[in-house]
Structure 1
Amino acid sequence: MGDHSDRNPNTLDTTATAGQGQVEKFQDPGLPPHRPRLADKDPRAEKRAERQVAILFAISVIGTLLFFVGYFAIPLDESTTISTLRLQNLLLGMGIAFSMLGIGVGIVHWAKTLMPDHEVAEERHEVRTEEDRGDAEQIVGQVLDESGIKRRPLIRNTLIGAGALAILPAIGIFRDLSKNLDPEVLGHTLWSKGVRLTRDPEGTPIKASDVTFGAIFHVIPEGLNELSEGKLVEKAKSVVLLVRLNPADLHPSPGREDWAYNGIVAYSKICTHVGCPVALYEQHTHHLLCPCHQSTFDVTQQCKVIFGPAFRPLPQLPITVNSEGYLVARSDFHEPVGPSFWERALLVKESGR
C-alpha cells in the first residue's frame, strides 16, 4: 500500500467526513404553479357547477320538508301499527339525511369548483389588539368577495333557504319537550296485584321453578297481547327483565325485603337515561348493560347505576308467587318508569308513590 500521509483530506479521492466543508443552505422551492380548473376557463362549466351547488341545496330543502311530512302528517295514536311506525322512521331518517347531506356536499362542491383555490403563504403575525379590527373586517369582506356569494344569487338564496329550514326539525322535536306530562302516562302500567309474569312475546306464564340461576327472561304482563288498542304504548312501559341470583347476593333496602322471591328479581327494561331497552346481562358480575350508551346497573344493589350517563336505578317490580307457583306482581311499579326528566318529581308526587 502506498503512503497517503501527504494527501489533502479535502481532495476528491478521500472520503468526506462529518463537519468537512460548508453545507449549502436549503432553498425554498416556493409554491407550486397554479392549475386552473375547468370552471375557471369555461363560463359554461362555471354555470353548470353553480347549478349543481344550487341543486344540492335544494335537495337539503326537500329533505327537511320530507322530515316534516313524517313528523306531522303521520298520526301516532292508539291505532298506530308497526308498519306506520316504520314508515315514519323511514321518512324521518331520510329527511334528516338528505337535509344535512345536501348542505354539506353542496358547500364542499362549491369550494372545490367555484371558490378561489390559489395557494397563499403568509407570515405569522403577533396577536394584536383592537387597532387591527378594521383589518379584520377587511379580511372578512375579502373572503365574502372571493367566495362569490355576493355575485351568485342562485347559490346564496338556496343556501339561505336550506340553512333556515335545516334547523326547523330540531325545533319541531324540542317542542314536544314542553308538553305537560300526564302522571297517568308514565306513573302507571298494566302491572297490578296478582297479574302473572309472562314471556315476551309468547305471553306464556312463568313459574318460579322455570327460572334457573343466571337465567334472564324478557317479561310482559299477562293480558298485554290481548289488547286491541294501545298495545305498543303499554308494552313500552310494562316490559321487565327477570333474573335469578343467590338470595345472599341481594342487598335490598328497608321496605323492599319481600320484593323478590327466592332470589328472583324483576326490573324495568327501560333505561333511565333515554329509554333504550336494557337487554344485556353479565352473569358473572350480575350487571345489566344498556347497549345505547353503556349505562350499567348492578342487580345485586337494586340496579344501582355503576357506570354511564343514566341518572337513577331501574325501577323494581315487586313480585311473589301464587298458589299455583306462578310468578305474579305484588303491585305496580312504585315510581314512574322510563328516562329521567325534570318533571319526574311531580309525577311521583301526583301519582301518590
Structure 2
Amino acid sequence: MAHDDTSGTDVAAFSSGADGVSNTSGRAVEPSAASGGLAVITSDGFADPGVPPHRKRVTDLDPKKARTAQRTVYTLFYLSIAGSIFAIAAYMAFPINENDPGSVRLNTVFLGLGITLALMGIGIGAVHWAKSLMHDEEGVDIRHPVRSSDETRARAVEIFHEGNVESGIGRRSLIRNSLIGALVAFPLPAVILFRGLGPQNEIPADLLSHTMWKAGARLTLDPSGLPIKAADVTIGSAFHIIPEGLNDAPDRLEQKAKAAVLLMRVNPSDLNVSAGRENWNYDGIVAYSKICTHVGCPVALFEQQTHHLLCPCHQSTFDVDNECAVIFGPAKRALPQLPITVDGEGYLIAQSDFLEPVGPSFWERS
C-alpha cells in the first residue's frame, strides 16, 4: 500500500501470479483479498477545477470589428434573398423542353446555383452571427426536476428575454429583418417548382376525370403496346396495361400517368361485386387504376395468395376481391375500376373510360 500525501489518493496495485496474488511491494496477499488481474484504485476526490478563464473575441473588444461582422451577416442574408429570386427567374428563363437535352442542363445548372446561394447565405450568415456577435459567456446549467409551476413558467419567459438580449435580434434590426426576408424568400423557388409540375390554367379534377380509355379500346401490354387476350391471363397473374395507341400519342407520358392500369385474374367466386358492376369484370379478370389514391405513386405489387395490391411508397394496401377497397395505409378511397370485356377476337377491351377521377384523393372533385 502506497500513500501519496500530496494527491490525497491511496493506490493499491495487485497482480496475479501462478501461486496467488502479490502486490507491488512484494508482500504476499491472500487470493481472497483481491480479484486476480484487477487494479484496485480508490480516491478521496478532488476539487472542481471550474471553467477556464473567458477569452473575449475580437468583436467583443473592438466595436469596429463588431460592425464589420454585422454588415457581413446581413449581407449574407440579402445574398440568400437574391439567390431565391435568381432561382425563380432561372426556372422561368430556362424552361425545360423534352426534345432538347440542353435545356435540361441549363435549367438544372442555373436553378441549382440559385438554390445553393439561397441556402448558403442563410447557413453561413447564421453561423457567423452566432460565432461573432451573439452572447459568448460560458454558463453552467444545474439539472433539476422538470416542473410546470408558476415559477418555472416565469423563468421560461425570462430565458426568452435573455435570449433576445444576448443574441441582439431585438436591437440589430438589419440582421433581424434581413434574416426574416431570407427565410420568407427561400421557400418561394420550391413553390414555383411544384406549381410548374401541375396543370396550368386548368382544374386538376377535370383533367383526372378523363383518360385515353374509351369504349372498344384494347388493353395492351406496357411498354410493348401489344394487345392481350383473355386466354393469356391465368389465375394469379398480373399485367401492367396501357391503352391502345398510347405509345404514339404526342403527350404519351402525361397520358400514361393517368391511364396506367393493373390487370389481374382471380377465381370469379372470390370477387365481391357491388350492384351495377356485375359486368365490369370478365370471368374473374379485373382492371384497376395503377395510380395510388394517396399521392399518386404506382401501385405495382400484387400478392397472389391474399389478392392484395400494395403501394410501395407508403404501404397503402388494396383488396382486389372487394373492388380494391383500402384495408391499410394512408389512402382514403379505393382504386378506380376500369370496366372491361372482350371483343369478337377474344382481346380484352375497355367498355368505357374510368367512371371516377383517377389519382390522389386530395384533388377537389365536383
TM-score w.r.t. structure 2 length?
0.69
Helix, strand or coil for the counterpart of 2:81? helix
1:236 pairs with 257, 267, 280, which one?
257
Give CA-to-partner distance per residue, 1:106-163, whole Å, 9 cap, x none: 4345435543343322555975549986x76664443233224467666445423211
Q: CA 1:81/1:30 → structure 2, altered by over 3 Å: closer, same or farther?
A: farther
What residue is the counterpart of 1:246 in the other structure? Answer: 267
Would the aligned equivalents of 2:95 and 2:107 in 1 still touch at CA under 8 Å? no
Write the deviation string for residues 161-187 of structure 1: whole angstroms up to 9, x where unpaired: 211212435665689899872654122
- Candidates 299, 315, 319, aligned match of 1:278: 299
Paired with 2:304 and 2:99, the residues of 1 have a C-alpha distance of 35
CA distance in 2, matches of 1:85, 1:283: 41
1:266 aligns with 2:287: yes
Q: Which residue of 1 is the match for residue 22 of structure 2?
A: none
The secondary structure found in structure 1 opposite 2:179 is: helix
Q: 2:215 aligns with which of 193, 212, 217?
A: 193
What is the rounded CA distance, in whole Å, between the counterparts of 1:171 and 1:217 in structure 2?
37
Count, aligned residues: 325
Which 10-residue stretch deviates more, 206-215 or 192-201? 206-215
Q: 1:82 to 1:224 in 2, by over 3 A?
A: farther
Partner of 2:350: 329
- The residue number in structure 1 matching 2:19 is none
Structure 1 residue 217 corresponds to structure 2 residue 257: no
Structure 2 CA distance for aligned equivalents of residues 255 and 58 of structure 1 = 62
Whether the 8 Å contact between 2:339 and 2:350 is mirrored in structure 1 is yes
CA contact (8 A) 1:197 1:327 kept: yes
* Alpha-carbon offset, residue 215 of structure 1: 2.7
Quote the residue 1:166 is aligned against. 186
Query: 1:65 — aligned with what?
Result: 85
Asked if structure 1 preserves the Cα contact closer than 8 Å seen for 2:265 and 2:285, the reply is: yes
Q: Distance in 1 between matches of 2:159 and 2:268?
A: 72
Shift in alpha-carbon separation, 1:231–1:93, aligned structure 2, 3 A: farther
| Unmatched tracts of structure 2, length 5 or more | 1-11, 13-26, 34-41
Deviation for aligned residue 1:214: 3.0
- Preserved contact between residue 205 and residue 363 of structure 2 (Cα < 8 Å): no
- Residue 186 of structure 2 is aligned to residue 143 of structure 1: no
Question: Quick check: 2:267–2:284 contact (8 Å CA) kept in 1?
Answer: yes
For 1:308-350, what per-residue CA distance to the aligned partner results, in whole angstroms no more than 9, with x for missing partners?
1100000000111111111100111111111113632x1xxxx
* RMSD of equivalent CA atoms: 4.4
Unaligned 5+ segments in structure 1 are 1-11, 17-22, 347-353
Q: Measured at CA, do residues 29 and 156 of structure 1 come closer, stay the same or move farther in structure 2, by a change above 3 Å? A: same
Is the Cα–Cα contact under 8 Å of residues 204 and 363 in structure 2 kept in the other structure? no
Which amino acid letter does the alignment assign opposite residue 64 of structure 1? S
Number of the residue aligned with 1:5:
none
Q: Which moved more, 1:41-50 or 1:208-217?
A: 41-50
Shift of 1:24: 9.2
Mapped to 2, the partners of 1:132 and 1:327 lie a distance apart of 70
Kindly provide the amino acid, as one letter, of the partner of residue 146 in structure 1: E
Secondary structure, in 3 states, of the residue corresponding to 1:65? helix
Alpha carbons 2:289, 2:335 under 8 Å: kept: yes
Do the aligned residues in 2 keep the contact of 1:60 with 1:162 (CA within 8 Å)? Answer: yes
> Which sits farther off after the overlay, 293-302 or 111-120?
111-120
More strand by share: 2
Partner deviation per Cα, 1:252-290 (whole Å, 9 max, x = no partner): 222222211222211101111111221222223222121
Kindly indicate whether the alpha-carbon contact (under 8 Å) linking 2:205 and 2:364 is maintained by their aligned counterparts in 1: no
In the aligned structure 2, how far is the partner of 1:211 from the partner of 1:285?
A: 18
Residue 20 of structure 2: aligned partner? none
CA distance 1:334–1:146, shift in 2 (3 Å):
same
Equivalent residue in structure 1 for 2:338, among 289, 293, 317:
317
- Indicate if the aligned counterparts of 1:279 and 1:289 stay in contact, CA closer than 8 A: yes
* Greater C-alpha Rg: 2
Question: 2-side partners of 1:218 and 1:333: how far apart?
Answer: 17
Kindly indicate whether the alpha-carbon contact (under 8 Å) linking 1:288 and 1:296 is maintained by their aligned counterparts in 2: yes
Q: CA deviation at 1:217?
A: 1.7
Whether the aligned pair in 2 keeps the contact of 1:37 and 1:113 (CA below 8 Å) is no
- Partner Cα separation in structure 2 for residue 179 and residue 47 of structure 1: 49
> Alignment identity in percent?
51
- SS of the residue corresponding to residue 321 of structure 2 reads helix
Q: Which amino acid aligns with 1:280?
A: L
Q: Secondary structure, in 3 states, of the residue corresponding to 1:189?
A: coil
Q: Give 1:57-96 correspondences, 5 Å limit.
A: 57-58=77-78, 60-69=80-89, 72=92
Take 2:110 and 2:332, find their aligned partners in 1: how far apart are those partners?
A: 32
Q: Distance in 1 between matches of 2:81 and 2:295?
A: 29
